[in-house]
Copies of this chain bind each other. A is one copy, B any other.
Amino acid sequence: MKPNRRVKLSDLAKQLGLSTSTVSRALNDHPKIPHETKRRVKQLANDLSYHPNPFAKGLLQKKTKTIGVLLPSFKMSFFVSIIECLQQELKLKGYKLIVSSFGPSLKEEKEAFWEMAKAHVDGIIAIPNNDHEDPTFLNNIIDEGIPILFIDRIIDSLDANFVVTDDFNGMFEAVDYLIDKGRRKIIHLEGPDELSTSFFRLQGYKEALRSKQIEIDKRLIIPCQSKEEVIQKLQSVDVEFDAITCFNDYYAFEALQFLKSKNIRVPDDVCLIGFSDEPICQYTTPQMSSVIQPTSLFGKKAVELILHEIQQLQNNKAIDFDIYKIKTQLQLRQSCLSV
């Protein structure tokens, strides 16, 4: 029915009248093997479509050529877009990608990390969800020799590399632009407490106002734990406002719904800016302005760093950890351009 017997090194060796070591060396381009032998070996390997057993290799070399990627959810296209980029970059470098998502629960997130560790990936790239106050378990994984690189969110007190959005400047520029356009009463829809991104975006907002000597009105800073809260919170705002900046695009979409329902014109009465530049932004009416987080830069930097860490680890060399901030870009669309 099916042969189902994969060719292995010894099969090649037998057919060629060589030892397995020679064949192995030939395949791995060992310097001291004559070209002719290499050619013959590779030829046959190709003909029989021989593929080395990755488990035998993994067992021996403790390298799996596999990177684990952890993310909270596939629902955010920003994350997915990063995954896509990671996947492309890693494919180029000959790495495979094991992916796992873990949802909002801390317990599941921990488990997901452990599963990756158990799978003996060479390294982990993670978009964490929770503020790991006790990152002991992460340190344990790192101590086992699996470097972890974090994307988008910073976890304090952890020796690791971080590749994050320059949230501060991203929001700063957005608010700065609005002020230049004459808006003064700018709402900020703040994101979930526990995220470093919420914090820095809020700081950017405040600093932009401060730098133009505009007093910060606490009533305009509206914390929303999720996009579901946005409309309700906006209902109960009892001060005037002429612009809204948001933790992310989904908050902005909700805000847009709200404004429409109140017959408040965008951008004439109120300007609106999201964050992340989800592809949807082009399809809302009016089209949504947003802050672009260039995902390909995230992916490239992350891959570069994790591979470097893996190599350093292999050579028992020290690693310098750092926080890398990826510059954003303000994408203006109809929701901001007063006619």
Contacts and interface: CB of A to CB of B under 8 A. Distances in A.
A101 interface: yes
Nearest to A137: B49
A53 interface: yes
A219 interface: no
Nearest to A257: B283
B118 A99 contact: no
Contacts of A118: 51, 54
Contacts of A260: 285
Nearest to A284: B283
A66 to B, nearest CB: 8
What bracket does the count of chain A residues touching chain B fall in? 35 or more
Nearest to A3: B143
A280 B253 CA distance: 10
A143 B2 contact: yes
Contact of A101 (B74, B77, B87): B87
B2 A145 contact: yes
Given A2-B145, A4-B144, A74-B80, A56 B54 contact: no
Interface string A251-279: 00100110010000000000000000001
Given A97-B100, A144-B4, A54 B283 contact: no
Interface in A63-110: 64, 66, 73-75, 77, 80-81, 83-84, 87-88, 91, 96-101
A70 B242 CA distance: 47
Interface in A280-319: 280, 283-285, 316
25 contacts: A2-B142, A2-B143, A2-B145, A6-B144, A51-B117, A53-B120, A55-B55, A55-B56, A55-B59, A58-B58, A59-B59, A74-B80, A74-B81, A74-B84, A75-B279, A96-B98, A96-B100, A97-B99, A98-B99, A253-B283, A279-B280, A280-B280, A280-B283, A283-B284, A284-B285
